[in-house]
Amino acid sequence: MPRAHLVADEAPTPGHRRECPSRENPMTRSRTALITALALLAPLTAVTLADGAAPARAADAAGRTAPGRTAPAPLALIDPGFEEGGSGWEFTAGTGVAGNHPHGGSRLVYLDSGAGKKVSQTLTATAPGGYDISAWIATGGPNGRFTARVNGTERAALTLPAGAAYRRWTLSGIGLAAGDRLEIAFESGDGWLNADDLMLSPAAPAHPRVSSSDPKIVEMFDWSRRKANSWVHLAGTDGPLNVDENNRTGSGTAAYGPSYWAGYANRSGYYSRDMAHQLAGAGVLGLHAENKSMLRTFAGTATPEHKYYPVWALNFDNRTPLSIDYRNPSLFVREVPATFELVQKAEEAFRWSGDRSYLTDPVLWDFYRHATEEFVDLHDGLKDNGAVKVAEGTGKGIFQGTASYNEQSSEPLAEAGDAIGSQYRAYTAVAALARAKGDTALAASAARRARELKEYFNTVWSGTGSGAGMVRGWTTDGRPLTGWGKENSWFMPMKQIIEPGPRREAYLDYIDEQASGDGRPDNIEALSYLPDTFFTNNRNDTAWKWMQHVYDHKN
């Protein structure tokens, strides 16, 4: 394994982990896991980014004024999707707004080929801050330009290649003082240029860097840091709600809260599974306000009416469920592992940030308790697990509650390896949170439940087989399932519910073999769990192999 070293521009907050390996030691698992987390934070879509100087710090990265309210953004684009006909934009001859091939919504801006054509908007910053500017752009020829000028001086620019399909391009690290005038412009080249769906992102509070004996680690880390930051929403920005592939214009607008994109780029919301997967990387960037706000919003939806399931997806206003996944309180997408992963990730966010409101906020604390107590009680009835309780799905699909993240499976799962593994980690998270709070009784109770569940899993639930013979799920009619289950296979060692020893090592070999062969998942999101699976279990070389694979296939 190569060696790596992580540094940050700022001192860590209380509870922030920042241990650095010595020059002589190989890369530690914890350090490599940091790089993995950051590399996987952003949606892995095709993108090219412009390098810029270290971004300035936003005066108020969260944009918060009071609980439940979001301050107006200090920098606000007018008509970023051109749905208002280009209001706020300036157009030269040979440019305009059209509806023939938008990226999102129903309109786009176009520039005809040839020199001298330009579409631009000039904004005045009301407070100091640093920003990334992203846009979806398609071109009929090379040499078009995407530029940012501050007070008339070019600060960042991209010269675009030919590419008829939309790609997301980002100008990074643009620092502004209060009163600065920022011009954002598209300029014509040797072919037509279409642009749509601009986004302003605040500079992340932290700007970590790595050095390594392997230059690819540095390249991956720098790419992922810039990539991740370009998907963070500038709190207070007005944006559309309930946009999806079937409803491209959405259902109105609202002020966005502290949040980042975690899910499909053509939907106006973030998902519990994706957000859980990205939270550690957001912690590396110091996006603690975003992490907490998103977690708290999910926690608030885990009501008795929802049988203590959090909703699956939320709009960026941090208030309303995303309509494509939510129809009514009895009919919404819900997957058992997500409930438990949100508890685990809240404990991780507490350790990253040192923010004691993770222990004192009643909305969050009630969620931890309900998720590991009432939720389990309500959803344990199909399979007899004796004295141990295991949360179950219905076996009837995602809108009725599924036991596994493997949505491609046709198996009628009542219990799944990814759910029981995530339940175990939720128990250990509650134990840690309770210890930090000083609630020794709850800490002891949660730790006991974790031990009992892990012992039951290893002695009864997972059977006696090894490798392909290990049980990784149970059907609604009581049949054990072995073989390859994708998420409900690799989550078991990733969540560390399998006891260390030859059986776990054989199962890790089996996962690597299946993911490398005919059982390889079709979606890169699923493959992106594999580095965490192997790093967590001290298989650094295998983890590094999968980490490179994900990075090499990001486009």
- For 90-139, how does the pLDDT look when each residue is reduced to its tens digit (9 = 90+)? 999 999 999 999 999 999 999 999 999 999 999 999 999 999 999 999 99
Residue 6 counted as domain residue: no
**Size of the chain in residues:** 555
Q: pLDDT tier at 4 (50, 70, 90 boundaries)?
A: low
Residue 451 counted as domain residue: yes
Tokens of 529: 């769990």
**End-to-end Cα separation, the chain, in angstroms:** 25
pLDDT of residue 41: 44
State whether 270 and 199 are in the same domain.
no
Nearest alpha-carbon partner for 335 in 229, 262, 233, 409: 409
Tokens of 362: 């009643």
- Specify which residues 402 forms β-bridges with: 335
Query: Of 164, 182, 203, which residue sits at a domain end?
Result: 203
Residue 139 counted as domain residue: yes
Domain that holds residue 377: 259-496
pLDDT of residue 8: 42
pLDDT of residue 506: 97
Least confident span in 26-35, 370-379, 383-392: 26-35
pLDDT of residue 23: 28
Angle made by CA atoms 179, 253, 274, in degrees to the nearest 5: 95
Query: What's the CATH code of the domain at 319?
Result: 1.50.10.10
Residue 518 counted as domain residue: no
State whether 159 and 274 are in the same domain.
no
pLDDT of residue 524: 84
**Which stretches of 438-477 are DSSP H helices?**
440-456
- CA pair distance 355, 76, nearest whole angstrom: 29
State whether 179 and 300 are in the same domain.
no
C-alpha to C-alpha distances, 318 to 237, 330, 339, nearest whole angstrom: 13, 21, 18
Instruction: Answer yes or no: is pLDDT of 470 > 50.
Output: yes
Instruction: Tell me the pLDDT of the chain averaged across its residues.
Output: 89
State whether 329 and 475 are in the same domain.
yes
Match 């009416």 to its residue by tokens.
305
State whether 192 and 284 are in the same domain.
no
Residue 37 counted as domain residue: no
Give 64-82 pLDDT, tens digit per residue.
333 455 788 899 999 999 9
233: CB partners within 8 A, 6+ apart:
199, 201, 239, 256, 257, 258, 259, 260, 261, 290, 316
Match 């580095």 to its residue by tokens.
531
pTM of the model: 0.88
Give 343-361 pLDDT, tens digit per residue.
999 999 999 999 999 999 9
Nearest alpha-carbon partner for 387 in 444, 453, 473, 478: 453
